[in-house]
Amino acid sequence: MAKASHYESRVVAIAPERMFDLVADVERYPEFLPLMREARIVHRAADAYETEQVLALGLLAYRFHSRTVLNRPHSINVTSADRGFRHFEICWSFTPVPAGGCHIAFTLDCEFRSPWLKPLGDVWAAQMALTTVNAFVMRAHVLNCASAS
């Protein structure tokens, strides 16, 4: 099986509520998140939503559905029962720090069903894990600077 796991953490000078809101706003992902070509909410509930997403790596694209559970402002959990995955889970947590801002923790754990997806899965997971937290932190800084102007 093609399994990929990655953990990333960072302390940033951004309120946990603000980071939570940025991560929860999935339909804006294509504006700033590398590899995300499309993201559309197809069903919404009070503390969860289901999304159709398209990830792209070069000319290769993969469309899948996911379910996001929101625990504002503490955590966001994304799972997928899509047929292409044996297992797919992304966990975000946002913890206030004494000096202000928050500690962000990001965990990606996925396993593709198809052995022929292994090369794509390995590259995609590594690329996504390395760039995701940075992309959200940069987005938060850009939006904070824009609102301060």
Question: For the chain, which residues make up each domain, given as ranges?
Answer: 2-148
In this prediction the pTM is 0.88
Q: Give the mean pLDDT of 81-96.
A: 92
Instruction: Supply the pLDDT for residue 3.
Output: 65
Options 3.10.50.40, 3.60.40.10, 3.90.1110.10, 3.30.530.20; which CATH number does 2-148 get? 3.30.530.20
Q: Give the mean pLDDT of 63-77.
A: 96
pLDDT category at 143 given cuts 50, 70, 90 is confident
Instruction: Supply the pLDDT for residue 80.
Output: 95
Instruction: Supply the pLDDT for residue 1.
Output: 46
Of 122 and 58, which is predicted with more confidence?
Answer: 58
Nearest to 81 by CA among 61, 92, 65: 65
Query: Measured between alpha carbons, how far is 36 from 26 in angstroms, rounded to an integer?
Result: 10
